[in-house]
Amino acid sequence: MTQTLAPTTSDQVRDAVAWAVESATPLTVQGHGSKRALGRPTNTTATLDLSGLSGIVEYLPAELILTARAGTPLAEIQAALAAQNQQMAFEPPDLTALLGEPAGRGTVGGLVASNLAGPRRIAVGAVRDHFLGCHAVGGRAEVFKAGGKVVKNVTGFDLCKLLAGSWGTLSVLTEVTLKVLPAPEDTRTVVVRGLSDCDAVKCLSAALQSSHEVVGAAHLPAALAGHAVAGAGEAVTLVRVEGPGPSVDWRAKALCSELAGFGPTAEMGRDDSLAAWAAVRDVRPLVEPADRPVWRLSVPPMSGPAVVESLRPHGTPTAFYDWGGGQVWLTLDGPTPAEAATLIRAAVAHCGGGHATLVRAPEDVRAAVPVFQPQDGALAALSRRLKETYDPARVFNPGRMAEGL
Amino acid sequence: MLMPPPDQGTIARRSEIVEALRRIVPGEGVIADEDELRAYDCDALTAYKQLPLVVVLPENTEQVSRILKWCHAKGVKIVPRGAGTSLSGGSLPLADAVTIGMGRFNRILDIDFENRCATVQPGVTNLAITTAVAHAGFYYAPDPSSQIACSIGGNVAENAGGVHCLKYGLTTNNLLGVEMVLPDGEIVRLGGKHLDAGGYDLLGVVTGSEGMLGIVTEVTVRILKKPETAKAVLMGFPTSEAGGDCVAAIIGAGIIPAGLEMMDRPAIHAAEDFVHAGYPLDVEALLICELDGPAAEVEHLISRVEAIARDHGASELRVSTSDEERMRFWAGRKAAFPAVGRISPDYLCMDGTIPRRALPQVLARMQEMAQTHALRVANVFHAGDGNLHPLILFDANKPTELERAEAFGADILRLCVEVGGVLTGEHGVGVEKRDLMPVMFGEDDIKQQQRIKCAFDPEQLLNPGKVYPTLHRCAELGRLHVTGGRLPFPDIPRF
């Protein structure tokens, strides 16, 4: 019988972990469970539900830091930040629609554990770049802290980097401190229409090589463009700028003229711009049909279209691009999921390297196909040694990232 | 400061070790002569010196791998070294360890403007990366003061910062990938030209690991287009509180400057005497705020910063009208260390970070400590991110002054932690702050960090004696020992 432990204090988390270790009970470690469908299925008999460990502990806008308990809803944090005109600059994606979960769910602990970041990643970094410190419980039920509560710190090994993106497989986060930043006063998007994937990525590269401080660079082919830009009947290439009003006006105009050589350009105002980037951020173009496996590829930006193109002989890829071409969201109709995994990962390796994650797929597929990029040789051994030393009893989300991790 | 006792057995095998290294690196690449070894007896933390057992200067990754493999098999310790500019003693040699100097890895391998990155060997200097891409209007953002000399490999090891990190981040935020050799000689690649890791973020773990996890043999960094324009505002304040409040107000107004630096009265006077930057001498705090970006934005923000400064009682307020004037504003700040070097035979440069709101309190306490230790202190401060650089003035030729300066420095760092800050913002722990680690971290916190060491270097052969006062044996750390009782605990909600 599965049971759920719902601690509301850090001490209770420690006690729960102590029990799990002593009774050899593997735990599903989760906040709201909004990303439970992402990852290799775990075979656990108990759930450690951290959603009751909630609340902002300290928010100091002038120090640019916010500390919250791991189970604090993201929505609560975003509301507190918005009230001070600040934000999590890495633009956390909301994957609930893609993953078939109730809208608006997700905790700050889950955000850190998954290291997901939105379109602004190319300019300001991911969660890992804003994750300053934490309190956590380790695999021997020891309570520890890592990092600090200031924005600049190199004291000791950067344990926070290891925990960000470890999907709850190494320790249980109980409290996290994030660097927060001012929200931009205004935003504009320059749209270039009708480009092929290949030309679009060249256009995005030109925009990113300009001095206009571009903070969003995406491309949606004709079939998907309507999800981001209402009524778009052709491909749209999106270039975003943010900042004080006069600055975004000037830069958007400059980009419109500088990118005109690629295709017809136009400016999108604030509201349309916000809507378009929310769609890109939350992967809305690939939400339907819900039964199609969705891949996320991270590759050198100029390689994005080549990866997709090289899959065409083997099936029908449907893809859009973020991060200037470096993040590809992809479905591949035709091959079986296992074949698709092999084809996609071979294409990534062939086109300059990177990694591919199976972000959405039915449970049986995720059990059979490696969800995260498989590692080989020395790196796989290193990852196993890290798991062994941080979670020797294999009680934290065992197997979620890969067999043995 | 005590280093681990040297292993006499290793020292006795010196000629065997030298011979083995010469088989791997032929020619001039192995230095065993005592006079020549002197050049390697310290880094930029010159208070501590130690002759290395032997120095080897490999030229390629395969040689690094073979050296590490051989040392691993024979149980010989290794100290990696870049340009030797560490201010925390990160590459201080050991009497029983091979120092591996990476200076011959000095080539730029690939510049890729379309993907906005550059791949270089680790011995390339920080500034040389910017120089190599400047013709196309690009640069590499992190800019430690030693950028003309320090190597990018050392920057990775120390997670180096600079005056522009508030807006552009530290090394870790600008690094895309490395090739590195693990302590057993295995060659691995972490990251590349793409973003983020497909599994655990090992690149993030390696950055700032102070040469204790592996030796980096190739580095890929992101490069940025130079901002269209930059302007600076020079502001003087009658009190450090007013200066600190002004910094908070600028950030509070949603402005993230490219650089936001503060100097206290002793630092202002030393710098002005040295470079005649035109600093006001009748103020307690001087702020330099630089804004960069599109011209339209910079003009807009400069006027807002001016207004904020006026509201906070700035007694001096100047906006740069040319790039020459902007550089002159910076000249004094950038020369602050040598300027202090002119007024004192020796100085110690400290590096703590504090929450900015604690600045007035910290400056006041520091002056009290200066009296207690009977030494002077000047402060330069990366005010935007709270990173303090107190410069403690002393004369090493006077008895007890070095010891007093070190004690004063330790007191300052303890104070940084006490007010909610950290021991080091950008210089690293090295040997300098090693023994203060327990001030910031408890035993269990430190053990969690050392688990990383055990995963990478279970024999603990790489750069021993750095960062951690005592390295727990990996076998001891590996034990599964649970503290705590048994469930069911009545007070945990279960359903």
Using one digit for the tens of pLDDT, what is the confidence trace for B246-271?
999 999 899 999 999 999 999 999 99
Which pLDDT value is given to residue A203? 98
B-chain residues within 8 Å CB-CB of A251?
A: 294, 296-297
pLDDT, chain B, mean: 94
B174 and B200 housed in the same domain? yes
- Facing A154 at nearest CB: one of B194, B202, B426: B426
Is B169 part of a structural domain of the chain?
yes
B-chain residues within 8 Å CB-CB of A244?
A: 297, 300-301
Is B174 part of a structural domain of the chain?
yes
* Positions in chain A whose pLDDT score sits under 50: none
B-chain residues within 8 Å CB-CB of A202?
A: 114
- Facing A372 at nearest CB: one of B198, B208, B451: B198
Q: A19–B489: do the CB atoms touch at under 8 Å?
A: yes
B-chain residues within 8 Å CB-CB of A298?
A: 194-196, 198
For A1, how many CA atoms within 13 A lie in the half-sphere containing its CB?
3
B313 and B399 housed in the same domain? no
Measure B470 CA to nearest chain A CA, in Å.
13
Least CA distance to A381: which residue of chain B?
A: B455
Is B38 part of a structural domain of the chain?
yes
Least CA distance to A384: which residue of chain B?
A: B455
Q: B294–A250: do the CB atoms touch at under 8 Å?
A: yes
Is B490 part of a structural domain of the chain?
no
Q: A298–B115: do the CB atoms touch at under 8 Å?
A: no
Sequence letter at residue B133: V
Q: B293–A213: do the CB atoms touch at under 8 Å?
A: yes
A-chain residues within 8 Å CB-CB of B212?
A: 157
Domain count for chain B, please give it: 5
Is B50 part of a structural domain of the chain?
yes
Sequence letter at residue B264: D
Least CA distance to A205: which residue of chain B?
A: B114
Tell me which residue range forms the domain holding B68: 8-101
B84 and B162 housed in the same domain? no
Complex ipTM more than 0.95, yes or no:
yes
In the 8-state DSSP scheme, what is residue B470? S
Least CA distance to A355: which residue of chain B?
A: B198
Distance, in Å, from the CA atom of A218 to the CA atom of A237, rounded to the nearest integer, reads: 6
Within an 8 Å CB–CB cutoff, is residue A78 touching chain B?
no
**What is the value of pTM for the model shown?**
0.96
Least CA distance to A249: which residue of chain B?
A: B296
Distance, in Å, from the CA atom of A176 to the CA atom of A57, rounded to the nearest integer, reads: 9
Least CA distance to A390: which residue of chain B?
A: B451
Task: Report the residue of A127, A135, A157, A386 to disrupt the B interface, i.e. the one with the largest count of B CBs within 10 Å.
Answer: A157
Q: Which domains does chain A have, with CATH numbers?
A: 1-183+374-405 (3.30.465.10), 186-281 (3.30.70.2190), 284-368 (3.30.70)
Distance, in Å, from the CA atom of B391 to the CA atom of A390, rounded to the nearest integer, reads: 40
- Facing B493 at nearest CB: one of A6, A159, A392: A6
Of the three residues B80, B101, B122, the one that is the final residue of a domain is: B101
Distance, in Å, from the CA atom of B25 to the CA atom of B331, rounded to the nearest integer, reads: 43
CATH number at residue B349: 3.30.70.2740
- Facing B294 at nearest CB: one of A117, A148, A247: A247
B243 and B205 housed in the same domain? no
A-chain residues within 8 Å CB-CB of B296?
A: 246-247, 249-251
Least CA distance to A345: which residue of chain B?
A: B198
Q: B114–A150: do the CB atoms touch at under 8 Å?
A: no
CATH number at residue B281: 3.30.70.3450
Which pLDDT value is given to residue A376? 87
B-chain residues within 8 Å CB-CB of A85?
A: 254
| Per-residue tokens: B65 | 């791998």
Of the three residues B81, B101, B121, the one that is the final residue of a domain is: B101
B94 and B116 housed in the same domain? no
B308 and B285 housed in the same domain? yes
CATH number at residue B45: 3.30.43.10
Of the three residues B434, B466, B490, the one that is the final residue of a domain is: B434
Is B96 part of a structural domain of the chain?
yes
- Provide the 3-class DSSP secondary structure of residue B45: coil
CB pairs under 8 A between A and B: 339
B90 and B125 housed in the same domain? no
* Positions in chain B whose pLDDT score sits under 50: 490
Is B378 part of a structural domain of the chain?
yes
| Per-residue tokens: A85 | 């005109």
B208 and B284 housed in the same domain? no
Q: B487–A19: do the CB atoms touch at under 8 Å?
A: yes
> Which of B477, B474, B426, B456 has the alpha carbon at shortest distance from B78?
B456
Q: A145–B441: do the CB atoms touch at under 8 Å?
A: yes
Distance, in Å, from the CA atom of B435 to the CA atom of A156, rounded to the nearest integer, reads: 12
pLDDT tens-digit profile of A46-65? 999 999 999 999 999 999 99
Q: A15–B485: do the CB atoms touch at under 8 Å?
A: yes
B358 and B298 housed in the same domain? no
B285 and B380 housed in the same domain? no
Instruction: Give me the residues of A, 298-327, that contact B with CB < 8 A.
Output: 298-303, 323, 326-327
CATH number at residue B129: 3.30.465.10
* Beta-carbon contacts of residue A378 (< 8 Å; ≥ 6 apart): B182, B186, B187, B188
B97 and B113 housed in the same domain? no
B82 and B159 housed in the same domain? no
Is B485 part of a structural domain of the chain?
no
